[in-house]
Amino acid sequence: MNRHLSRMIAMQTLYEWDFREGSDLQEIKERNIEEYEDKCERDFVDILVDGVSKDKVKIDEIIDTSAPEWPVDQISLIDKTVLRIAILELLFLEEIPPKVSINEAVELSKQFGGENSSKFVNGVLGTVYKKYEKEILSKPTTDS
């Protein structure tokens, strides 16, 4: 199964949910998964979408302290969504190596973000990694 595609589906779902305030997250997720049902890892999409929605406030605080010159509400929605997924992976998902999470986030920001998105995302995630390195490195990992 394709984890990159699964991350894209999670990103699209979370982006739409944030963009359309008050919309039904589960409904958006089901619609997006349905489109790629046989090509994505449904469980992984669920973990990412549910994790970000549950820990959004905590993750946004991490973004805020890691990019103090960019208040969270001033970061483009696509960059913010990519960062939220990557930070969830870095700090809360044991099985994903940090390098994979960061590389995937940079790729998503290149695909969907603006001209400087990938540099911004890489910089913020580098800061997060340095700040939480002990916790991140103590996670057991497998390649994902």
Tens of pLDDT, residues 45-85: 999 999 999 999 999 999 999 998 888 889 999 999 999 99
Compute the distance between CA of residue 33 and CA of residue 52 in angstroms, rounded to an integer. 17
Is position 58 within any domain?
A: yes
- Boundaries of domain holding 20: 3-137
Residue 60 to residue 53: CA distance in whole angstroms: 11
pTM of the entire predicted model: 0.91
Residue 144 lies in a domain: no
Residue 100 in any domain: the answer is: yes
Q: Which two tokens stand for residue 51?
A: 């994790």
Q: What are phi and psi of 2, to 5 degrees?
A: -105, 105
Total count of domains within the chain: 1
Span 20-32, average pLDDT: 93
Q: HSE-up of 85 (CA within 13 Å, CB side)?
A: 34
Provide the 8-state DSSP code for 74.
Answer: G
Residue 19 sits in a domain of what CATH number?
1.10.940.10
Is residue 142's pLDDT more than 60? no
User: Cα(first)–Cα(last) distance of the chain, in Å?
Assistant: 11
Considering the domain boundaries, does residue 118 fall inside one? yes
pLDDT digits (tens, 9 = 90+) for 91-137: 999 889 999 999 999 999 999 999 999 999 999 999 999 998 877 76
